[in-house]
Amino acid sequence: MSYLITGGSGLIGSRVARDLAREGQRVVVYDAYPQEELLTSLLTQEELSLVKIYRGDVTDLPHLLHAVKDNAVESIVHLAAMTTYPSSANPPLAIRVNCEGTANVFEAARLLGLKKVVWASTRDVFGAADKYPNGVVPNDGAHYPASVYAASKSFCEVLARHYIKSYGLDISALRYFFAYGIGQRGSIISRFMSELVEKPAIGKPGRVPYGDDSFGWLYVDDAARATVMLSKSVMPETKAFTVGSNPRPVRDAVAYVKELLPGCDLTIEPGSLGPGNNCETEPLKDEIGFEPTWTMEQGLKDSVNFVRRQHGLDPV
């Protein structure tokens, strides 16, 4: 099978490309700003031989259609998006990239008869925890988006339901819950990981924000595995799945990195990203069979060693 991954050299996309190539699948990485160095660091030469990098923008429907047709693509994994801060800074562009870009992906699937589309929504569509009296957000909970980014993803969930109902397309979404690792671009998580992992891994001081918060730590390899598993499903009953892990305090993460790197200069700064929420994730387990396997500690250690390898340092 041949897959096209928009944003295919980003944090999750690069690992999806790797995992599909390991299966022997042909992969088109469709990315406006390809991170070829990240792909090279993750994939073997044999795996890279199955990957074609195609510089492209999801807002350009004709270019996207050509990429799909020229490479006999059968399924799309749509991960390209503008995240929270860039979306707030430039709402018109965010609407083009996140909303129009997603519509273009769905149009490509409709026009070319593709087998499957998996796309990235976000758990931010649900808003703050105080909207849900019992403290747990059901997978089909009402949306209360509080940012341009979250609102754009909420709209795309409505758009997906339209394409499913009107054209019979097989479209599934994943709402990633704090997917972390090395390789994300221009997001809250990338800045957080820079302070928590990247700087201390090479001997620089880190100042970790959101020290009063807890996150549902979903390691990128688990996020990629969930994405690949969902890409192989056929018309699951649920059309948008929340995927995450049990919340753990930021202070636990800082303490563990200090264990890995004794003597590192790592300071916790107070604050929170805002009221979080616990989300129901059972539908993804029940329908697709996915459960996270990486603990927070395993994911942080793997991230530290990834950075150290990039800088020619011994693993810890």
In this predicted model, what pLDDT tens digit does every residue of 67-80 receive, in sequence order?
999 999 999 999 99
179-180 and 218-219 strand pairing: parallel
Q: Measured between alpha carbons, how far is 55 from 63 in angstroms, rounded to an integer? A: 10
Cβ burial 112-127 (10 Å sphere, 16+ → b, else e)? eebebbbbbbbbbbbb
In this predicted model, what pLDDT tens digit does every residue of 216-252 receive, in sequence order?
899 999 999 999 999 999 999 999 999 988 789 999 9
What is 2-180+217-245+277-292's CATH superfamily? NAD(P)-binding Rossmann-like Domain (3.40.50.720)
Q: Measured between alpha carbons, how far is 233 from 206 in angstroms, rounded to an integer? A: 41
In this predicted model, what pLDDT tens digit does every residue of 80-119 receive, in sequence order?
999 998 999 999 999 999 999 999 999 999 999 999 999 9
pTM: 0.96
Query: Where do the structural domains in the chain lie, given as residue ranges?
Result: 2-180+217-245+277-292
**Residue in this structure with the two tokens 């609407």, named with its chain if needed:** 95
Residues 6+ apart with CB under 8 A from 175: 121, 122, 123, 125, 240, 241, 242, 243, 279
Q: Measured between alpha carbons, how far is 93 from 99 in angstroms, rounded to an integer? A: 10
Number of residues written out for the chain: 316
Residues of the chain below pLDDT 50: none
Count other C-beta atoms under 10 Å from residue 204's C-beta.
Answer: 12
Q: Measured between alpha carbons, how far is 169 from 55 in angstroms, rounded to an integer? A: 26
Predicted local confidence at residue 56, as pLDDT? 95
| Number of helices (H), then strands (E), in the chain | 14, 15
Q: Tell which phi-psi region holds residue 38, choosing left (phi > 0), alpha (psi between -120 and 50) or beta.
A: alpha
Maximal CA-CA distance, the chain: 59
Q: First vs last Cα of the chain: how many Å apart? A: 38
